[in-house]
């Protein structure tokens, strides 16, 4: 399973699951999505980064939950029952992303997907790996590899 966007064929279509975080629209490759579930209060993990909500019980497995708004530094109200958890698989690991709402499933031809422009003013990690336009609105394709918390020495 790869959420890598190939840039070779123009005819290929990408199926993306789009969702909203605050006022911004993001999407992920639908193939990396395992399920979408309602919000559950996560058990907080001590000494974890601020964007880690904690862990929830996903049918017997311990699933780490990432607050995408905090990860992307988007100012939103704290997570509550109105939020949704998208369960994704990245590099063989399963994790949950808290988003505000899931909007749509879109088929976007490769030709309409462009790489994000490089911005001199941007420092730190960028979480957008591609951009596209849907009905006049900009849709960001999320780079899941970067969202996924790096396992530091202590957490390895």
- Interface residues with another protein (CB under 8 A) are 41-48, 54-57, 59-64, 93-95, 151-152, 154-156
**What is the distance between the alpha carbons of residues 49 and 54, in angstroms, rounded to a whole number?**
10
Phi/psi for 155 (5° steps) reads -95, 0
Q: Which is nearer to another protein, 33 or 65 (CB)?
A: 65
Closest CB 53 distance from another protein, rounded Å = 12
CB 26 within 8 A of CB 19: yes
Closest CB 48 distance from another protein, rounded Å = 7
Q: Which is nearer to another protein, 46 or 117 (CB)?
A: 46
Q: Which is nearer to another protein, 73 or 156 (CB)?
A: 156
CB 29 within 8 A of CB 15: yes
Q: Which is nearer to another protein, 119 or 151 (CB)?
A: 151
Closest CB 64 distance from another protein, rounded Å = 5
Tokens 């996903």 belong to 58
**What is the distance between the alpha carbons of residues 134 and 128, in angstroms, rounded to a whole number?**
16
């Amino acid at each position: 399973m790869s959420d890598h966007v190939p840039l070779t064929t123009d005819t290929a279509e990408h199926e993306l699951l789009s969702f909203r975080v605050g006022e911004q629209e993001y999407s992920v490759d639908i193939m990396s999505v395992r399920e979408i579930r309602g919000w559950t209060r996560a058990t907080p993990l001590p000494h974890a980064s601020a964007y880690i909500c904690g862990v929830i019980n996903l049918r017997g497995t311990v699933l780490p939950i990432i607050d995408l708004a905090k990860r992307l530094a988007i100012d939103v109200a704290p997570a509550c029952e109105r939020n949704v958890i998208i369960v994704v698989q990245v590099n063989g690991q399963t994790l949950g992303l808290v988003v505000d709402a899931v909007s749509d499933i879109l088929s976007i031809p490769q030709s309409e997907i462009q790489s994000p422009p490089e911005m001199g003013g941007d420092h730190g990690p960028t979480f957008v790996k591609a951009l596209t336009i849907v009905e006049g609105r900009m849709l960001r394709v999320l780079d899941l590899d970067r969202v996924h918390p790096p396992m530091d020495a202590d957490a390895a």
